[in-house]
Chains A and B, each alone.
Chain A
Amino acid sequence: MSQIILGVGDLGASKAPGAAVKTFALGSCVSVILLDPRVRAVGMVHVALPESKINLQKAAAKPGYFADTGIPKLLEEMAKLGCNPRGQGMIVKLCGGANVMDPNDTFNIGKRNALAVKKLLWRYGMGAVSEDLGGNFSRTVSVFVDTGDVVLSSPGRPDWKI
């Protein structure tokens, strides 16, 4: 089975039968997963921060690092596989956006990432059908081309699907 492994700020898409796209250990990062049932393609971007304006050079080198540059780039990649470039007909799933235990939510990067991702998706008229965001734990996530399953794992917890 071919597996595309994404690091922080990477994105990838596939429609190869048997393939999977995977990213390890999302902390405050958010993974945006797009599934196109018509083309039978899946894609994922591992977003680290909400806005590219804090470092445009980084955004140019690694567009997936930021929500505002990562999602358009992922759609572009998926369009190469024959998907609609505006994301029409796609299913969206989101996960990640965790935080350390902090009642005041001081460093709410996880929450801000999730919000930035959602705002960007709204611009395309897209919304998540399922999400697993927040909490105080890291997540590893895989999406499988054949089934469209999105499987999550975290040390010390049983695996789960969204």
Chain B
Amino acid sequence: MTITGSQGPGSDAMTNPDIRQQVQAAIQQAPMLSVSAGKLMQITSLADHDIKDVIDVVHNDANLTARVLKVVNSAAFGLMTPVVTLDRAITLLGERVVVGIAIGDSAGHLFQKSLTGYESEKGDLWRHDLRAAIASREVARRGRADVSADLAFTAGLLHDLGKAFLSDFMENTANAIIERIENRDSADYLKAEEELLGIDHAEAGYMLAEYWNLPQPLQMVIRHHHYPSEAPEEFRPLVYCVHLGDIVSMMGGCGTGADTLQYNLDPDYIRYLELAPNQLAEVMLEVDEEFDKISGSIAESKENNR
């Protein structure tokens, strides 16, 4: 192994199996998702679920109900009359935003972590993931993928959480990793992580997804989002949606630091998605528009909570 951080846990003293075990231990210490977030993900991952089931889950969680109503009534949605019923709020927001609120609330500490190992700032991970979520949904919708667009949104939101665990072991490594990729010693940032630590962020995320007992499609997206062809065939349409959604988010300038755009595009997406290259411009535009709306409303409703 030739890359080492100049200090910190990425230095010579540590061997790869140690880091892998430490990442695993850190994941086992992570707080569980809220019961509501878990249930919502289980329900919405089923192709033929009923929106009433979503409403029921929110209805039984007073905090989540309050948050959903605050988001829908925030200035960003610009509604003329206040929404007071949950049914109407969820219909207006769409279930993906509701799932997003539940996930954001119960795993907010991970999304808001500063990924210093990637030379990234606090808030970058949440911004990148939310943009990837919107982009994945748009790719699913416009690309006529045989998957639920709402599930693509949730998968996009969760795809990079492994970085929150890997970052601590990657202090002062960005420079060396970039050099390795430019010299073609590493194929991309994911491979470099694996070469450096014995584990990459996709696998760390997959460990978290297993620990959280996320639905299988979400686990597969998290594990294979950089190499979708390695996913089992039945999950590939969804994994390719997030593969592209992640890329759109990075191209739009919202990455997570030094690894931004340092990944390969898998051109086999055309086997699963009817997406002409020029349609990507439309997706990018849609992401910019919707991101401002959703992130503004969620942030605003959180501030009101304080």
Contact = CB atoms under 8 A, between A and B. Distances in A.
Interface of A: 8-9, 24-29, 48-50, 54-55, 58, 65, 98-102, 104, 106-110, 136-138, 154-157
Interface stretch (B52-60, B74-82, B151-159, B259-267): B259-267
A8 B257 CA distance: 18
A155 B281 contact: no
Interface centre among A9, A50, A107 (most CB of B within 10 A): A107
Contacts of B289: 58
Contact of A28 (B252, B257, B262, B288): B252
B261 A137 contact: yes
A138 B261 contact: yes
A55 to B, nearest CB: 6
B247 interface: yes
B286 to A, nearest CB: 9
Kindly state the interface size class of chain B when it binds its partner.
Answer: 20 to 34
Contacts of B255: 25, 27, 138
A28 B265 CA distance: 14
Contacts of A107: 247, 251, 265, 277, 280
Interface stretch (B21-29, B173-181, B228-236, B298-306): B173-181
A137 B262 contact: yes
Contacts of B280: 107, 109
B251 A26 contact: no
B207 interface: no
Contacts of B250: 27, 100, 138
A154 B281 CA distance: 24
